[in-house]
Structure 1
Amino acid sequence: MNDRLTPELVLSAYCQGCFPMADPETGEISFYEPDPRALIPLDDRFHIPHGLKRALNKKPFELRMDTAFPEVVHACARTDQPEEQWIDGQIEEAYGKLHEMGFAHSVECWDEEGLQGGLYGVALGKAFFGESMFHRKTDASKIALVALVQYLRAHRFLFLDTQWTTPHLLKFGTYEVPAKEYRKLLKRALEEQ
């Protein structure tokens, strides 16, 4: 794709069940539509691992939302594994604009030493599309995820899209739906406000 990645293009892609990623070698932006699609449940199927429950009880972080969006995206982009660097400058810029427009959000874990972890994604209708997460201290990204799920439940979101299943996300009850079913869920979520 030769065109710049615009916020409008990203929103249009989400509405069609797709999302952008940059190729770590070429920098080319491609759009993906996994089949099956991974979702984190927002009902009682959401599972908090036992060790994480203990960490949550200690309240090691102050939770904030949307106070350091660019920093969260930038931290998510940094990885020790170059083959996993799918967040490039175009992605950072487009999502920064989506944040300014009120569509992209971050959940952040802070302590006295600063930002220790978080995640970001896009909210459209009653769908939340999780994009990436990072941590500098143990459990920070997981605690941000739990906080996001609590927020989405309180605001009656229909689903949290994680795109693909990972061993890490399976611990929280992640499940998969076929693309056809996902598109039906997406249509319903986009129609609700």
Structure 2
Amino acid sequence: MSHDSIGPPREDDALRVRFETVYDATYAAVLRFVQRRVHPSHAEDVVADVFVVAWRRIADLPEDAEEARAWLFGIARRVLLAAHHGEQRRQALTVRIADDQVSRLQGAGSPGSAPDPLLAIEHVDLARAWRRLSPVHQESLALVAWDDLTSTQAAAVLGISPVAFRLRLSRARRVLRHHLGHPARTHAAPAATPARERSTS
């Protein structure tokens, strides 16, 4: 076989190899991202749609692995929103909380440690406080705490500036702390907000 008959690799072959590499490296992370936002029975279908869009836009795929992951999260978010309307769009942004996610938010003890009754109470309180957050605040915290994105990457997922995201994240953290310190009461009025907290809000 002559050298000319071998020729250089075709560009579409190189793109396919690159796509398959990113697919293998990010599929699990994208699936987890989607599973927190839709019923588990629909998650794999959504992820399939995400990678179809990614293949069509392969020229836009970032070279950096972490940036590529964030880029795919952004596509996943838009796929989810495109399938919903009105109130359903708000629900599409709601991030479900699971036991392992609660532990990451509260910085739970080391694996294998004995159960701590106080930690169990905090665990319940945090899960309750999470459910009281708005979808926007849940999403901001989840992108950083569970999806391991930087503020710049999370901002790209949401289509806002890094400064705007950092402000949104700061508010989300403040609201979560407020809910943890002021659980919902049915028989008593909420405690007054401390003066120091009012001055920084």
TM > 0.5 fold call: no
Q: Which has the higher helix share?
A: 2
Give the number of the structure with larger relative contact order, counting CA–CA contacts within 8 Å between residues 6 or more apart.
1
TM-score band, normalised by shorter chain: under 0.3
Greater C-alpha Rg: 2
Instruction: Please report the TM-score for the alignment, with normalisation by the length of structure 2.
Output: 0.24
Instruction: Please report the TM-score for the alignment, with normalisation by the length of structure 1.
Output: 0.25
Q: Which has the higher strand share?
A: 1
